[in-house]
Amino acid sequence: MFPVCADPSLLSGLDWFSCYLTTPKHLAFFGSFGLVMLLIAVVAPVALAVGFAAAVASRSASPLLSLPGRGYIALARGVPDIVFFLFVPIALDQGFEYLRYLMICPDQPDGVWQGNNFLVCSAAKLPLSTAAPIWHSIYGFGLAVISFGLVFGAFAGNVLAGSFRAVPIAQIQTGASFGMTKSQIFRRILVPQMWVFALPGLSNLWQILIKATPLLFLLGLQDIVYWARELGSSKTGIYAYPHPDWRLYYFGFLLIFYLGLTAISEVAYKRIMARLSRGQATLAGSGKTGLRGGV
């Protein structure tokens, strides 16, 4: 904060706004945009890895792999996102604390379930009550990553499973005729070609992931939606910077942010699609080689 901001009651015009926008809460608001971007950057590869594993498992000839893979995809896709996001963090948190309880204080007199309350000894709490606030934020962010990864991993698995089936069977038969093993066909033919078919669905999933980031607010993290509501609501004279209800402007700023992010993503998607389609037996790939004949 600037020295001129020492007494907000003496400010007006641009000086008032410059001091207002550099308060600690506004700096936290600006930093929360980084939190959203970090979440997207971490969840995207996690969800893709989970989805790929689920898709491969669902294609397995062994019921021990295919049934869990299909079951996970069906279950996570069938449960409303908001229910999943509220259930998974609580279940994980209590699960982690229960394991610590078994290792640290298994002789707790009343057990962990006391009526409808789940209570463990202080030493088994995650994070510890004595931990710095940053560790509480990191722990909450980790639970959010797992929750988002499981939800969007199921959708990614469904997209990838369909993309595997979309690869022309002639490609696989050709590989087999050249003496390739099933593993070689999977790594050298199936996986490289299925990405072309998967990319449109993954692009839509990426856009949905961007739009789902405000659910961080439900997980107790101070994200951009939390701060927009907190800072934009009317402030009376008891506050250093009183103002009327400005939530319209704050949420309008979030609207511009999300629209800009999705627009940039669309440009990136088109470039990636053009790159992956080059030389492939698809309409996009044939367009790169001059095969544009009408049907």
DSSP string, 156-208: HHHHHHHHHHHS-HHHHHHHHHTT--HHHHIIIIIHHHHHHHHHHHHHHHHHH
What is the structure's pLDDT at 282? 54
57 pLDDT higher than 60 = yes
284 pLDDT higher than 90 = no
Residue 143 exposure: Cα atoms within 13 Å on the Cβ side: 27
Phi, psi of 235 (to 5 degrees): -125, 125
pLDDT in tens, 230-283: 999 998 878 888 889 999 999 999 999 999 999 999 999 888 888 877 665 555
Domain 32-236+244-281 in CATH 1.10.3720.10? The answer is yes
290 pLDDT higher than 70 = no
What is the structure's pLDDT at 88? 84
pLDDT in tens, 169-226: 888 888 889 888 888 988 888 888 888 889 989 999 999 999 888 888 777 778 898 8
Which DSSP helix (H) or strand (E) runs through 17?
A: helix 13-20
Domain assignments of the chain as residue spans, ordered by start? 32-236+244-281
For the chain, give the mean pLDDT.
Answer: 85
The SS3 of residue 117 is strand
On the 0-12 / 13-18 / 19+ scale of CB atoms within 10 A, 231 is: buried
What is the structure's pLDDT at 80? 82
What is the rounded CA–CA span in Å between residue 180 and residue 36? 44
157 or 11, greater pLDDT: 157
On the 0-12 / 13-18 / 19+ scale of CB atoms within 10 A, 194 is: buried
Write out the two tokens for 43.
Answer: 């969840």
> What's the mean pLDDT in 119-134?
84
51 or 167, greater pLDDT: 51
DSSP string, 55-103: HHHHT-SSHHHHHHHHHHHHHHHHS-HHHHHHHHHHHHHHHHHHHHHHH
What is the structure's pLDDT at 114? 76
50 pLDDT higher than 90 = yes
294 pLDDT higher than 70 = no
What is the structure's pLDDT at 158? 92
